[in-house]
A and B are shown apart, each in its own frame.
Chain A
Amino acid sequence: MMSLAREGSQGGRELHVLAVDDSSVDLAVIARLLRSSKHRVTTVDSGKRALELLDLEPNVNMIITDYWMPEMTGYDLLKKIKESSTLKEIPVVIMSSENVPNRISRCLEEGAEDFLLKPVRPSDVSRVCSRVM
């Protein structure tokens, strides 16, 4: 189930974004990028924790996840979300530091909303958030 974005305090749409990355550096950067655009951000460091959180807190408007994580990749997480009747409508954006065409097409075919190359830019964040809003 996908919740509606909330009206932000300055009239814009505020999304609740779940950011998933095993790199604390990348998590801090993506969280700041999203918060500077006035979105609410929850951060977790693994796909497993992301799924645990989504079980408790389904009011997430978008998930942005690193591709390459130990134990559960961003692709595995994407698959699990798209297989879930309660979570499948949540847009999932994948991030990766590597430009691997097969990887990108596999994720998009599995239903990823977008695939961003790291380092992620403010314009990337604006683009994906605008589509979701």
Chain B
Amino acid sequence: MAATALKEQLNGLVNSMFAEGLLDEQFQQLQMLQDGSNPGFVAEVVTLFCEDSERILADLTKLMDQAVVDYSKVDAYVHQLKGSSSSVGTQNVKLACIQFRQFCEENNQEGCMRALNVVKHEYYHLRSKFETMLQLENRIQAYETKQQN
């Protein structure tokens, strides 16, 4: 059955994301909160996380482009991103944010620039996996709805 094959593909993708360190056990907690009464919960949280992250990364880029960098503002944004990545279980993004905050504490401009690039790299890598994940979920949902009707 097509839905079974898609589910296997989805499980394979998510498992590989755990194996690669993109996700940690907090993501499993979110998966456990998804059920028949709330089938779109993981998709909802992932979508909110991506929207938040892109807004924060855009703001961080502007702040780091300033002639004089306000490290307390940069740190506040990185703290936000670290928080939401921790809540979603996006491990590599969280770890990159922790590194970034250390450079903020030192007022290390070069370190912060490098760290920002690392966070962006980790985030965009994760985002492409999340996009595939959500596409697969939507296709599975579409098959299952069709079967019920």
Contact = CB atoms under 8 A, between A and B. Distances in A.
B134 interface: no
Interface string A99-115: 00000000000000000
Contacts of A118: 83, 86-87
A121 interface: yes
B26 A32 contact: no
Interface string B35-53: 1001001001100110110
What does DSSP make chain B's interface, helix, strand, loop or mixed?
helix
A24 interface: yes
A25 B49 contact: yes
> Which of A35, A119, A121, A122 has the largest number of chain B CB atoms within 10 A?
A119
A23 B33 contact: no
B44 A28 contact: yes
B41 A26 contact: no
Nearest to A35: B38
A57 B84 CA distance: 29
B44 A119 contact: no
What does DSSP make chain A's interface, helix, strand, loop or mixed?
helix
A85 interface: no
Contacts of A119: 26, 29, 86-87, 89
Interface residues of B, number: 22
Contact of B33 (A24, A26, A33, A68): A33
Nearest to B53: A25
Contacts of A122: 29, 33
Interface string A5-26: 0000000000000000001111
Given A25-B48, A25-B52, A32 B84 contact: no
Contacts of A97: 79, 82-83, 86
25 contacts: A23-B52, A23-B80, A23-B84, A23-B87, A24-B48, A24-B51, A24-B52, A25-B45, A25-B49, A25-B52, A25-B84, A25-B87, A26-B84, A26-B87, A28-B44, A32-B33, A32-B41, A36-B35, A68-B79, A97-B79, A97-B83, A119-B26, A119-B86, A119-B89, A122-B33
Interface of B: 26, 29-30, 33, 35, 38, 41, 44-45, 48-49, 51-52, 79-80, 82-84, 86-89
